[in-house]
Structure 1
């Protein structure tokens, strides 16, 4: 089936990035396979993360089908675009249907994008992960690729006014070496390793980030442990949620 929507959307977004002169840094893109199914798993700090995470697959000439909450598909503008790009709606009251749709996409050789935290982390740290990304990769025998994005929260994030016209914002996207879970593996252990790898990538992105807050009122986009004013992360439970 021809891709009639995704390529024009990518072109429009890249043009917008050029106009805003966003300083986008990509690293590790060779870890996204050039063919066959794969699960890309990233941290989640912004409503725009799916856009930036999708850029990581361009070097491999892949289009990523992201799992996103169903409400986006009901939007009068966003909905047709999301369906046209063949992203996967997630109904949290009936999650098995979206899980099966993701499995079908992986079996067709698609790349599926997942945010294991399931929602934006307002603390800008890595929250507790749900197990879906590991279970999907194991069920289909495909690589599970860890990713981290940083800086996108400065453009549009939860509980903050949008700043989509903000110029010269650095955005870092890092891709790590894939995991290869199988059905026989301890998925709890694999999930812990995935979370550790994404946390390490995020720590590196934060450590190497080329910009600093412009003043005390601009420290909101930094996590508390780096001297920012983002909310403290909630206590993490010891048992991963499904």
Structure 2
């Protein structure tokens, strides 16, 4: 109930009024039953705008810190994230990936929509990076379709490293469901998992128009920090 209050009364109308998000392909999302929504990840605002375009609840996993912060602030934070379709997951340990998979399976087995960002983290430069194979394993083990999603413009509204950016109308594009039932029983074949994941990422790339980089986003982000700063141009006034 709190989720519906948050979406339709507290946040939804305000976001719709101010940003007027555009949507296409929403008819590809089933009216009922489980499905995976696999999206690109440009901004922390993605999880707000994508579910806003659908009448159904979309559930994501979020880091546990959002749910166990003490005090009044922590209480409101917990209510906000729980109400907006987030479930906690401890991402600090070695079992973080398995914990996320278990949570996702529970959501899908309950007939709900599960949202996932195959890149694993936000893109730091607007490019689309290599997907992790968890989305493929989840699709095969739960026997559910994968709907590719592209969110465009959220990195303008809320750029990486900043709370607010510039005004624009975000766009959410849903692609046709991808059926991987032909690979049933092959969820432990890493070549199959990679093939499925690459197919999903290709569809996301096609919908988003992003440049694709065959590298994991986390690694690309780390390497970008190591790049030397280009020397500044000499002051021509001093050189003359």
TM range (shorter): 0.7 to 0.9
Residue 196, structure 1, aligned to residue 198, structure 2: no
Q: Give the aligned partner of residue 171 of structure 2.
A: 172
Residue 146 of structure 1: aligned partner: 148
How far the C-alpha of 1:86 sits from its partner, in A, is 4.8
Q: Distance in 2 between matches of 1:235 and 1:145?
A: 21
Contact preservation (8 Å) 1:88, 1:98: no
- The answer to whether the aligner puts 1:65 opposite 2:59 as a matched pair is yes
Partner of 1:210: none
Residue in structure 1 matched with residue 133 of structure 2 by the alignment: 131
Q: How far apart are residue 56 of structure 1 and its match?
A: 3.6
Kindly name which structure, 1 or 2, has the bigger radius of gyration based on alpha carbons.
Answer: 2
Structure 2 stretches lacking a partner, 5+ long: 187-191, 217-240
C-alpha RMSD of matched pairs (Å): 2.1
Counterpart CA distance in 1 for 2:128 and 2:59 is 22
The 2-side partners of 1:98 and 1:71 are apart by 15
| 8 Å CA contact retained: 2:150, 2:204 | yes
> How far off is 1:50 after superposition?
0.7
1:24 counterpart = 2:30: no
1:187 and 2:183 matched? no
Mapped pair 1:236 → 2:187: no
Name whichever of 141-150 and 89-98 sits farther off: 89-98
Greater share of helix: 2
Matching of residues 40-55 of structure 1 within 5 Å = 40-55=37-52
Distance in 2 separating the partners of 1:149 and 1:143: 19
- In the alignment of these two chains, the number of paired residues is 200
TM-score, normalised via structure 2 length: 0.76
Provide the residue aligned with 2:225 in structure 1: none
Change (3 A) 1:235 1:98: closer
Greater shift after overlay, 87-96 or 150-159? 87-96
- Deviation digits for residues 174-228 of structure 1 (CA, Å, limit 9, x no counterpart): 000111224345221110000000011111xx7xxxxxxxxxxxxxxxxxx7xxx
Gaps of 5+ in 1: 207-224, 226-232, 238-242
Q: Which residue of 2 aligns with 1:217?
A: none
Structure 1 stretches (4+) deviating beyond 4 angstroms? none
**Contact 2:116 2:135 (8 Å CA) reproduced:** yes
CA distance, structure 2, for counterparts of residue 33 and residue 81 of structure 1: 26
TM-score, L = length of structure 1: 0.75
Give the superposition deviation at 1:30. Answer: 0.8
